[in-house]
């Protein structure tokens, strides 16, 4: 049973990942798609961090009181990934903003309709 429970962290990750994935493919709203992508992204973060955890370990800051540390490498990767993530999210949101300017909508079916109308009228 404990062996089964030791994979619990991956199940949480998969669940969150699928929540994000579902939002991306099921929702037509571009802002919500970006939020879905963010949830997907966070699930990957949690996966990396949980892989780096060592039982009874502590935060990887050297101290005389501790000898077991968690793996610092995933922390470094995810730390930078979060900041890059917000930068790319900002880029995505500004694209959405421009799409709103150009089409007057952020729903993907309305945008596709507008596109096909344009092509039909040519």
Partner 1 sequence: MLGMTAIAVVRLHRLFGVVILFSIYSLLSASIFVALDAVDVAFTEAAVGAGISTVLMLATLVKTGRIEKRSGRHPLLPLVVVLITGAALIWGTQDLPGFGDPLNPVHQHVADRYIEQSPIEIGIPNMVTSVLASYRGYDTMGEVVVVFTALVGVLSLLGFSGSRGEKSTARGPNQPTPVLQVMAIPLVPFILLFALYVQFHGDFGPGGGFQAGVIFAVGIILYTLTFGLDEALALIPVSVVRIIAALGVLVYAGTGVVSMLSGGAFLDYSVLAKSATDGQHYGILIIELGVGLTVAAVMILIFFSFYDKAFRK
Q: Which of residues 79-108 bind partner 1 (CB under 8 A)?
A: 79-91, 93-98, 100, 106-107
Site for partner 1 in 12-31 (CB under 8 A): 12, 14-23, 25-31
Q: Of these, 1, 37, 44, 50, which contacts partner 1 (CB under 8 A)? A: 50
CA distance 75 to 12: 19
DSSP codes of every residue in 70-111: --HHHHHHHHHHHHHHHHHHHHHHHHHHHHHHHHS--BHHHH
Of the candidate residues 109, 120, 121, 122, the single one contacting partner 1 (CB under 8 A): 109
Binder among 73, 113, 116, 117 for partner 1 (CB under 8 A): 73
Does residue 37 touch partner 1 according to CB under 8 A? no
CA-nearest of 118, 109, 87 to 30 is 109
């Amino acid at each position: 049973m404990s062996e089964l429970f030791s994979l619990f962290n991956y199940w949480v990750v998969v669940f969150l990942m699928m929540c994000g994935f579902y939002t991306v493919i099921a929702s037509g709203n571009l802002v919500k798609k970006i939020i879905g992508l963010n949830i997907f992204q966070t699930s990957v973060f949690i996966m990396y961090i949980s892989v780096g955890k060592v039982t009874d370990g502590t935060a990887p800051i050297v101290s005389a009181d501790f000898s077991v540390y968690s793996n610092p490498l995933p922390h470094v990767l995810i730390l930078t990934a979060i900041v890059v993530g917000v930068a790319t999210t900002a880029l995505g949101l500004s694209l959405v903003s421009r799409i709103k300017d150009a089409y007057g909508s952020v729903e993907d079916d309305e945008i596709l309709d507008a596109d096909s109308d344009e092509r039909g009228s040519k």
